[in-house]
Amino acid sequence: MTATIVSEVTLRSSSGQRKMPVMGLGTAPEATSTVTTKDAVLEAIKQGYRHFDAASAYGVEQSVGEAIAEALKLGLVASRDELFVTSKLWVTDNHAQTIVSALQKSLRTLQLEYLDLFLIHWPIATKPGKVVYPIEVSEIVEFDVKGVWGSMEECQRLGLTKAIGVSNFSIKKLEKLLSFATIPPAVNQVEVNLGWQQQQLREFCKEKGITVTAFSPLRKGASRGANLVMDNDVLKELADAHGKTVAQICLRWLYEQGLTFVVKSYDKERMKQNLGIFDWSLTEEDYKKISEIHQERLIKGPTKPLLDDLWDEE
Ligand code: NAP
């Protein structure tokens, strides 16, 4: 099997100009999955995936680490440096004094000496303790973003991660962070898909040199019922006209926008299908139709009930 080569972008504020493959494999667990994370990551490496998106809250760090160790043993990759591994700090550790040890714990679980990217998962802090999802609002405490970011910077200075960033940050929250950051965030990982195109946030990030990574690119992982993009008749027509699938139209659009993205599939064939987006393009006519898709955020927040000010009305 010939592995696909995925192009890379350089994270502007990372130490040593770390390069990130534009497409990564998501690893947020789904109860219905019959394939283990270890097997999926190993298969993905065989197919050419080099970027893996994990999080301590997903409970997959051990499996991702085992797959990487196995891939190295099998010689599928020559060294750990060929892989780009992201993990995320959960809200229970969103406190200045717990961040370095939380990352060290993630690294032990992953059996790695460093991460390529460490993200603040949500701009929320809760009392330290067990991972509970959705987060109970009664558990929320003040999020000291300045103190937290100082510790994130410390993680990069200590060499525990090559780059640091955030996830689910609005423009307003990024502006505040940029006002005191010594190391600006390399990445903001947020929901972007054809049903939530995030033009304004993307423009802001581009201007500030922050790479946007799109999560839920197929708008599928957490969706219930009809899917605004995968079940969209106009997109089905576009897909037919190109001899591609709707998923490939979704991913090609993200690629043409210059975004990085993490798509989750643990199915061998769909994993391969998702890599098949690099040698064709969308037309101007396609773009016209894409601009008419109804826009609505899928992932509205991690709390129960939802918070009013999480997205700062953006
Ligand atoms: P997604 O990647 O948009 O969709 C995943 C779903 O689509 C899975 O059910 C998968 O099933 C299916 N799928 C994948 N490729 C397909 C194809 N070609 N055709 C049809 N179905 C396909 O959604 P997501 O998992 O929500 O997001 C991706 C990743 O983003 C996550 O795994 C996680 O790493 C990250 N994420 C981050 C945050 C955050 O707060 N930072 C939030 C959400 C997600 P199969 O596995 O059966 O193929």
Rounded distance, CA 44 to CA 50, Å? 8
* Least trusted range by pLDDT, from 10-19, 152-161, 205-214: 10-19
Q: What separation in Å is there between the alpha carbon of 142 and the centre of ligand 1?
A: 31
Residues 244-265 pLDDT 10s: 999 999 999 999 999 999 999 9
- Give the number of C-alpha atoms closer than 13 A to the C-alpha of residue 40, restricted to the C-beta side: 26
Q: How many CB atoms lie within 10 A of CB 293?
A: 17
- Rounded to 10 deg, the angle between the 99-110 and 61-74 helix axes is 40
At position 201, the amino acid (one-letter code) is: L
pLDDT at 225: 72
Asked whether residue 211 carries a pLDDT value surpassing 90, the answer given is yes
pLDDT at 220: 84
87 within ligand 1 shell (Cβ under 6 A): no
pLDDT confidence tier of residue 222, bands split at 50, 70 and 90: low
270 within ligand 1 shell (Cβ under 6 A): yes
Round the average pLDDT of the chain to a whole number and report it: 95
Q: What is the mean pLDDT of residues 278-302?
A: 95
275 within ligand 1 shell (Cβ under 6 A): no
Residues 162-189 pLDDT 10s: 999 999 999 999 999 999 999 999 999 9
pLDDT at 140: 94
Asked whether residue 38 carries a pLDDT value surpassing 90, the answer given is yes
Asked whether residue 14 carries a pLDDT value surpassing 70, the answer given is no
Asked whether residue 31 carries a pLDDT value surpassing 90, the answer given is no
CB 137 within 8 A of CB 304: yes
**How far lies 14's CA from each of 27, 96, 156, 207, 230, in Å?**
23, 21, 9, 17, 35
Residue nearest to atom 26 of ligand 1 (CA): 221
Query: Which comes out higher in pLDDT, residue 48 or 3?
Result: 48
Rounded distance, CA 77 to CA 85, Å? 14
Q: What are phi and psi of 263, to 5 degrees?
A: -115, 135
pLDDT at 223: 64
pLDDT at 293: 96
Q: Ligand 1 pocket check: which of 52, 223, 263 to mutate, most ligand atoms within 8 Å of Cβ?
A: 263
Asked whether residue 67 carries a pLDDT value surpassing 70, the answer given is yes
Q: What separation in Å is there between the alpha carbon of 219 and the centre of ligand 1?
A: 7
Q: For 199, which DSSP code?
A: H
Residue nearest to atom 20 of ligand 1 (CA): 247
Residues 119-147 pLDDT 10s: 999 999 999 988 889 999 999 999 999 99
Q: What are phi and psi of 105, to 5 degrees?
A: -65, -45
Residue nearest to atom 19 of ligand 1 (CA): 247
User: Binding site for substrate: residue ranges?
Assistant: 121
Share of the chain above pLDDT 70, in %: 97
Please give the angle made by the CA atoms of 203, 245 and 53, to the nearest 5 degrees.
Answer: 55
| Index of the ligand 1 atom closest to the CA of residue 218 | 3
Does 58 participate in catalysis according to the annotation?
A: yes
Q: What is the mean pLDDT of residues 7-31?
A: 88
Please give the angle made by the CA atoms of 197, 203 and 204, to the nearest 5 degrees.
Answer: 120
